[in-house]
């Protein structure tokens, strides 16, 4: 039994040393222009699990009206579309140049998390990715307005004024 425990301890020390050398000697690629590997996909799932555990179970206080969508679209157009894409540019080149690539909300990766989780992600950002924490830049009310907009993004029938506002970021670039 004593040798068995000792064997486990030695194995753990050797594995930790190997991992340390692998990282400290720069074997891990730092490039942003490669496809995320298995380890990164696993980390992505861990982030989703963390969000679902930590996001308070709040409901969206913004009324489900066209005014709310319009306010959300204005914020989205000026702060989010450049990375997450717009109806007119659903494949943002800038967004796809980050590592991990930014989900394209009007393209291949529409927002699919719950409203309280989207609120939490927008307010607090996502560590080690390009997603900023907007908590010091937008009020809670503004964040809920963008959350309301994201809820309707997959409905192709967004009111014309809202679509127009979303595409306005393209015109401003
Ligand atoms: C500089 C680029 C960038 C900007 C600007 C940006 N984001 Fe993000 N966002 C990201 C990245 C990268 C991720 C993916 C993080 C990950 O891999 O977990 C993300 C993830 C998200 C998610 C989670 C999506 C999901 O379903 O997993 C939401 C919601 C979101 N962003 C909303 C916004 C909103 C709203 C704004 C504007 C207020 C915004 N983002 C601005 C880069 C950006």
pLDDT string in tens for the chain (173-residue length)? 899 999 999 999 999 999 999 999 999 889 999 988 888 889 889 999 999 999 999 999 999 999 999 999 999 999 999 999 999 999 999 999 999 999 999 998 999 999 999 999 999 999 999 999 999 999 999 999 999 999 998 777 788 889 889 888 665 55
Q: Which two tokens stand for residue 127?
A: 């560590």
Which pLDDT score, from 0 to 100, does residue 56 have? Answer: 97
In the prediction, which pLDDT does 40 show? 86
Ligand 1, pocket-test mutation among 103, 145, 166, most atoms within 8 A of CB? 103
* Amino acid 39: pLDDT: 85
The pocket around ligand 1, CB under 6 angstroms, is made up of: 44, 47, 75, 79-80, 82-84, 98, 100, 102-103, 111-113, 118, 121-122, 126, 129-131, 134, 146, 150
Q: Residue 172: what pLDDT?
A: 54
Pick the atom of ligand 1 nearest to 101's CA: 12
Residue 100 CA, closest ligand 1 atom number: 17
Closest protein CA for atom 8 of ligand 1: 131
Atom of ligand 1 nearest to the CA of 79: 37
What distance in angstroms lies between residue 29's CA and the mean position of ligand 1's atoms?
A: 23
The pLDDT value given to residue 156: 73
Confidence (pLDDT) at 171: 55
Task: Report CA(106)–ligand 1 centroid distance (Å).
Answer: 13
47: which 2 tokens?
């982030």
Atom 14, ligand 1: which residue's CA is nearest? 102
**CA 163/CA 169 separation, integer angstroms:** 11
Q: What is the pLDDT of residue 97?
A: 96
Question: What integer pLDDT is reported at residue 67 of this predicted model?
Answer: 95
The encoded tokens of residue 120 equal: 């939490």
Q: What are residue 66's phi and psi, to 5 degrees? A: -65, -30
Residue 105 tokens, joined:
């909300």
């Amino acid at each position: 039994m004593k040798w068995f425990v000792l064997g486990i301890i030695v194995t753990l020390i050797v594995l930790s040393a190997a991992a340390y050398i692998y990282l400290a000697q720069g074997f891990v690629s730092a490039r942003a222009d490669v496809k995320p590997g298995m380890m990164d996909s696993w980390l992505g799932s861990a982030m989703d699990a963390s969000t679902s555990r930590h996001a308070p179970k709040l409901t969206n206080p913004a009324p489900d009206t066209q005014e709310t969508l319009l306010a959300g679209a204005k914020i989205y157009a000026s702060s989010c579309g450049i990375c997450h894409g717009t109806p007119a540019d659903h494949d943002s080149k800038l967004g796809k140049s980050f590592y991990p690539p930014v989900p394209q909300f009007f393209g291949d990766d529409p927002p699919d998390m719950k409203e309280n989780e989207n609120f939490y992600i927008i307010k607090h950002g996502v560590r080690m990715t390009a997603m900023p924490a907007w908590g010091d830049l937008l009020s809670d009310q503004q964040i809920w307005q963008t959350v309301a907009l994201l809820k309707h993004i997959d409905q192709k029938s967004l009111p014309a004024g809202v679509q127009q506002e979303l595409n306005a970021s393209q015109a401003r670039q």
